[in-house]
Amino acid sequence: MRAWWCGFALGVVWLQRQAALPGWGGWCAVVSLGCAASAVAVWALRGRAHIADHEHRASSSWPFRRLRSFAGWGALSCAACCVGFGYAAWRAEARLAASLPVAWEGRDIEVTGYIKGLPTRDDKGVRFLFDVESADALAVESAPREPVRFPHVVQLTWIADEAPPPPLEPGERWRLRVRLKRPHGNANFGVRDAEAALLARNVRATGYVSAAAQAVRLRPE
């Protein structure tokens, strides 16, 4: 089991070191390598167990048993690495699938949902996560006509321009008019990657409340 979990962890790290998610060619290569490694692991480890049951064999078979055992555990680790790589890639694709449509960036969007977590206040306003139930783009001629997978969680800022933002409590349900953009951040060496940090929290859009006067606190359903 140790060889399996070490290989699985290496596969996850391998995926995280890639500049892009694998395409069809990459998936075919990973699946082929995983199947081949699994076949070698089954052959080697089953053969190792069979030989172990016949200890009366000549001592000259000892190097062969050692080599076969090493090949089996190595192949098992390789197969686990492919499984870890595929699992991490699948999770990443599922997380990235719900993204803000490009046509909706910088446009007024009416969203309905819940305050998620504790809001953070400062002199400029309040920042909070918003769990989106529904979203409608307003006056967007180039917006997609077909249904889109809107981000489930967005990070919003309620700016204190003319009046301070109202008290916001976790779990409150609101209808807000907002303007959003896709997450962007620097990924320089030694500097915090803001985009990766937002992705880890499942935040796929950031923005601000654009029409505070039209915000409506709703009754929880």
Determine contact, residues 150/98, Cβ cutoff 8 Å.
Answer: yes
Write down the number of H helices and E strands in the chain: 4, 6
> What is the structure's pLDDT at 113?
94
Sign of CA dihedral 209, 213, 214, 215: positive
Strand partners, 127: 120, 157
Q: What is the CATH number of domain 102-218?
A: 2.40.50
pLDDT along the chain (221 residues), means of 10: 84 84 87 88 68 49 69 86 90 76 86 92 90 77 57 90 84 93 69 68 87 87 69
Two structure tokens written together for 16: 């995280």
Q: Where are the domains of the chain?
A: 2-97, 102-218
Q: What is the distance between the alpha carbons of residues 131 and 115, in angstroms, rounded to a whole number?
A: 6
pLDDT value, residue 59:
47
The Cα 221–Cα 200 span in angstroms is: 28
Q: How do beta strands 153-159 and 125-137 pair?
A: antiparallel
Q: Which two tokens stand for residue 200?
A: 């880890």
- 198, containing H or E segment: helix 194-200
pLDDT at residue 151, as a whole number = 86
